[in-house]
Every structure is written in C-alpha cells, then in structure tokens.
Structure 1
Amino acid sequence: MADAAMRLTSLAEELLGGPLPVRVRAWDGSESGPEGAPVLVVRHRRALRRFLWRPGELGLARAWVAGDIDIEGDLYQALDLLSGVVWERGDAPRGGLLRAARDPRLRSAAAALLKAGGTLPPPPPPPEEVRRRSGPLHTKTRDRQAISHHYDVGNDFYELVLGPSMVYSCAYWGEEEAAGLADAQRAKLDLVCRKLGLREGDRLLDVGCGWGSMALHAAREYGARVVGVTLSTEQAAYARKRIAEEGLTDRIEIRVQDYRDVRDGPYDAISSIGMAEHVGQVRYREYADRLFTLLKTGGRLLNHQIARRPEKDEAAYHVDEFIDRYVFPDGELAPLGRTVGALEDAGFEVRDVEAIREHYARTLRAWVANLEADWDRAVGLTSPGRARVWRLYMAASALSFERNRIGVNQVLAVKPRDTGDSGMPLRSRAWAG
C-alpha cells in the first residue's frame, strides 16, 4: 500500500464525514494530516483490523496496549481530539464495522480499510486484557479476583507512579503552586481525619486501606486505633511493613478481609477512600447498611468516591469497556445523588458534600508525569502493555475530570443519635481551617 498514511487519512475522513484532527504516520513511514497536530503513529497493519472488528474505544485500546499505535506530541491534546471521532458503543453491532455500515459508500470505505489491514481474522486481545467474566456480579470471590487484577501488579510499580505517599486517590491541592504531590496527599489525609473529628483513642475502620497511608496518618497524627481492610495481599504486606517500621503495630491492624466480613464494631469513625467504586450498584445498599451497622451511634463516615454524570436514560448507562477490560474489572460509577440516597436510606444523616474533581485531574497529571519520567523502569517492573494501560487510563481520566464528564466527592455522614444531636460543629466546615 503505497503512501499508506494518505490513503488511511482519506478513508478515515470518508467514514467520519469530516477532517481527521490528528496527523497520521503509517507503517511505511509516510505521513498525512494537519501540520503541528499530534501524530497518530500506526506501527502495524493489524491496528486497522483491531479497530474495524471492534469499532470504538475497545478496538483503539487494544491497538494501543499491544503497541500497534502510539502518539507523538501532546498525549492529552491527542486524546481530547480523538474523543470526538470514536464510535460510541451501540453505534456499531458486534461483528465489526463492515456489518454496521449500511450506506454503500461507507461500506466501500470500510472494506478498503479492512483490505489495508490485511484480510486475516481479528488479532487476539493483548494478554493484559481481562476476559469476559460470568456469574453474578460482586460476589466475594469475584471481587477478590477483580481487586487482585488491579492492585497486585507490584508494589514497586505503584511506588514509581504514586510517589512516596503511596496514596492511590485524589490529592487535595492548595493555592501554592510550589506544593508537590506528597504535600497534597498529606493534606487530603489530614482533611479526612479532621472531617471525621478523630481524637486520641478513637477506633477507626479504614475500608479499602490500600498501602496503609490513611491508617498511618490517623494513628501517628491523631492517636487513633485503626483497623484497615483490603482484598489485596500485596497491599497488606506493604502496609504491615510500613507500620512496623514506624513502630505503630500496637495501634494499627491490617487485615486481608472483605468489608462484609468485619464483625468487630462498633467503630467511632469509618473512612472509605476510593473503595466504593468497586462495590457495584447491586451491592451499594448492602455496603451502606454494613457501614451503618459497624459505626457507633453519633459516629461519622467519610465516603470519598468518584461519580459519573447522571444519564437522561439511566437504563442506557454502560460501563466503559476499556476500563472494565484493562483497569478496574467490574468497577461501576454512580451519580452523586444515588450515593447520597443510598446512605440516607441506610439511616445516615448526610452532613456535608465537597466536590473536588479539579483536584483529581491535577493528581492524575502528576501520576502520569511520574510514569513518563521513569518509563523504562516502569516497563521493567510490569510489562510494556501494562505500562501503556496505565498511561492511557490516567491521561484519559485526567481529561474526563477536567471536562466534567466525571467527578469526585467527599460525603460526610453521621449515624444519628435518638436525641437528634449530630455532634457536628455549629458552623459548617469548621475542619477547613
């Protein structure tokens, strides 16, 4: 295929009905498209087959993870430009673009693209992809497998991406430009402790405790006695080592345990930071009920959770295929209103909601910068495909927060007393100081 880039650009624009917003460099070294724009590098013909047999983000994601395509230039700009030209799920049925294109002119262009990619069957998915699962969602066994896929990829890799704070959730940035990621993560942990009103000797349950950063901060800075639960064996081992090194084993216990199996309440406070996204819609009321039961009367819950925008037709909502196959298997996002409603239905009084989505965009950009700055080591710690998954997922997520496609919220709730006294400060957000 002589001058492949020109042909690809022409066929793509025919299918799209408009100009392609990025420049294309094909496997033969040819280039076509707007000067100065980010370059979509098509390294191998099979990238076309991946996309044509699975139009939309999953086909592109497979090509990206496999290294069949790449981006030169500003990755964020390229993703922003390409987001407007990718077919949404439902626009093309399974079986590929050839069956979807009913217009003879489009069918001809699709056939030409398929020919350019070679007439072989679709390539197998990259090994980093989770295969389709069967059976009920969010059983304890299935949740444990999903958590292991995402979190048990090596603590050294997470150290490289997250930095020394080892906090895998949205940081809390101040106005000072000089403040770094570690300072912003510490500020977030301290904000959570202040919202929970932690005091010396309080029992704190940290649900989804990760690598132990929240537990360490609460015990060290506030004198709390902490139980942290996680389904990740690698996280638990790392957290226990940190706790021992700081001499806090008498104050912190880390368990490999499902939150549904915690039975030693009541706790004075519960933190759930970036965990509820794994719970799923079918289990969310059970999640709220369980935390309500584990909390003492008058105790506080801080639920820190990513939220999606509500759909006009909620029945049409679908899980992002790339995220489901490569990043968070079985993860689900809910609108903020649904989360608040479930907590209230369980008996909580919701006292405060703080939206901090801009903070997450900045956090993700910091993680991407860490990954890119030590790329070769990241690849060595995992695999080329896994490192590419993370770069794409974090950069795309940063854009989603910036464009208000998704948000993140801290919801502070209280288990009410019979007297009606909430135990909260009279002035709202007294912890903000």
Structure 2
Amino acid sequence: MYNIMFLLLFIGLTSIGIYLRIRNNKNRLMFWVAAVIVCCGLVGLQVILEKQILPRLDMSTDSLVPAMLLYITGALNLFINTFPYFAILVFYLLFNGFMRYDRWLIGGLSIPIWVTLFLSSNLSKNYLDTTFLSFWGLAYTIGIFSLAIFSIVIEKEPHYRLHHFVIAIIFCIPIAVLNVFHFASSATSDRILIAIPYILVLCLIIILLLYVRGAFLGIKKKSIQMVHISTVLTHHSLKNSIGKVKLNSLNIRNSLEQKQYEHIDNYVGNLLDIHDTMMQTMSNISRAVSNQLVLQKQETDMAAIVSDVVKGLRRDSTVTIDIDCPSTIVVVDRLLLTECIQNICNNAIEAIKDAGTLRIKLQQRRKKVHLTISDSGCGMDRLQVHNVFEPFYSSKQRTRNHFGLGMYQAKKVIDAHNGKIDIKSARGKGTTVTVTLKTK
C-alpha cells in the first residue's frame, strides 16, 4: 500500500502539473503552480527510489546502473526539498504584483538552492545536510506566509478575499509541513513523510475543483465550452451583419423602383461598412487560432503609427488624449502593429467610464523603443492582469464586439516582433501598458 500510494502520487501529480502547464502556457502564475505540482509529484518517485529500489541493489559492484540511480535519487532529494520554497515565494511575489519577470531577481532568490547544492549536499551519495536548508527555508516560509496574509488583508471584495484565503491554504500548509519536516528528528520526519501524500493530494483536489469551476487564479477552463462561446459570438455577429446586408439590399431595390436614386449611395456605404466589419471579425478569429504570424516588416516611423491610431479611436469629448511621440524609426509589420496599438488604446478608452485622460508616450533608450499607453480608467485587479493575455478572456462583459481576443492578439504580435508587452494596473487607479521593441 505504501509503494502504491507514492507511485500514484508520482504519476498523478506530474501528469496534472504538465497538463496545466501546457493548457495555460501563457499564464505566468500557472507556470509556477504547475512547477510546484510536478515537484510534489517527484516526491513519490524519490521515495520509491530511496526506500524500495536502492536498498535492493548491490552498491559494491562497479555497475553503472546503481551509481546512476543513486545520483538521480540525490538530485531528486535536493530538488523536492529546496525548489518549493523558491517557486512558491516567486509565485506570491508575482501574485501580489511586487515583481515582473525579472531574471536577475529570480536568479537572486535561487541563490540559497545553489549554496545548498555545492556546500550542503553530495548527489552521488544521496546526501543532504538540512541544517542550512532548514534556516533559509524558514526565512522563505515566513516570506510566503507574509505575502499570503498581505494578499488577503488588502483585498476589499469578500469574494476575492475568500479566493485568496483558499490559495493561501493550498500553498502555505504544504510549505509549513516541509519546513517542519526539515527541523524534525528522524523519527518524527518519517511520520510526517507518511502524511505528506495525503496533504498534497488534498491541496491538488482543491486546485482542480477551482480550476474546473473557472475560479482558480481567474483562469477560464479551456474546453469545448469555450469554443462553443466563441462560435456563438461569431455566429451572432455575422448573423446581425447578414441581416443588415439584406435590409440595405431591399432598400436599394425600393429606391430603384421608386427612382429615389439619391438614397442609394448611403445604402451602398452601409454595405461597404458591413463588409469591413465582417472581414475584421473573421480576421480576428483566424489570427487567434493560427499558430504563427507571418510578418511583412518594413521601416516605419512609430510616431506615424500612433498618429494613425489616434485618428481612428472611438472617443467623445470627455476623454483627453495626451501624446508625446517623437519620430522613431523601427522595422516592423506596420499593419499588425497598428492593429495591436489600436486594440490597446480602444481598451483604455473603454475603461474610462467618465471624464479621463489617455496618455501615449514614446521613448527611445539605447537600441530599444518604449511605447507607454496609460489611462485613468477603472483599472484591473491582480488576477485580471495575469490573465489578460489569455484567449477569450475579457474583463468586460461579453458582447458581439468583445471576444476577449484583443490583448491576446496584441501579445502575439509583439512576441512575433521579439518584443515585450507589460501591464501594470490596479482597481480604481487606471492601467499602464508598455510595449518594448527594438529600434532600427
């Protein structure tokens, strides 16, 4: 029973972790969640190797197999005892908006793992001195608990506060048990080891229940239901357009029969507008499901792109647009980048409920250009910020005009240009989107 339990732990958790990573490959929070789940699954493999397989091997022989298995067991032992501290702390720093994807900061947080590797372990002998590990693990555990409590305290909405509390339970209980395990005596640690699979499975069940309900980290379940939603929206949009085509065609016929030719030009203009709307809808869906964008790069002035976008923005007199965009030459696909910036600006204007300001600023630093688009609108919460690039995800109410593809498509365009797009936002404080591209 003991062996089967850890075998199922290994197979189940690693499979689910890999699945969640693949299904949500654009979500930075889910990357760390999936990594922790896989790490927990490897506990089962490490225990089976250490407790069942290695004791049955003749380690005195010169065979390469026992030595390799011992080294793999040692590597797993180091990984599962150190990585959860690091990964969960990074998760909570991202979750609370205290860091972006800063490689230097992430590398700095991983230093205790490397110190443990080189000074407190011997992988070839499956040896791990937990003295140093226990204390830096305790420091990381305190940091994780502090960030978890912080996320609950600052949340004003009861629904989200409950959600943050559940996430705290999912991560804080296992990490606390791991740290107690490191400080415990050998007899106590053996008893804790038996309880670990049950704790991990319970936390995983909570994650899966929230995930299926579309409530875990704000992630919408990507299933046939999501495809159905997008299909219905597309059908509704095209159906309305087709109805307008018929109406304008009948009006043209009536005008010809009654020889009221002065109205025909207006009806033809309506048909052309409907054509553009239908083509745009199909283009958005087509790009969303395509794996790659084919770029047609050319030298372009970013200031000219911004100027074109501003001219086509839907706005009223209550929105003030402040532009600071000096001439800057870049090599980009002008059509795609214009559409990308237009999506961002349209979202910004729609977020401004009453009077407000949209600021567009262009700066060149060394060999990169930074386009910053800021609004004084309603802003987004942390989960919306982390999920805004997911396909069919929208912080606005779904309509035939809001498919949840605008920011997803914008990120695809920027990624295709080897650039970066970053969002900073808070509810009631507006949103700032920064697009970074290479200059000529």
Q: TM-score range by the shorter chain?
A: under 0.3
Bigger fraction of residues in helix = 2
TM-score by length of 1: 0.21
Q: Which has the larger radius of gyration?
A: 2
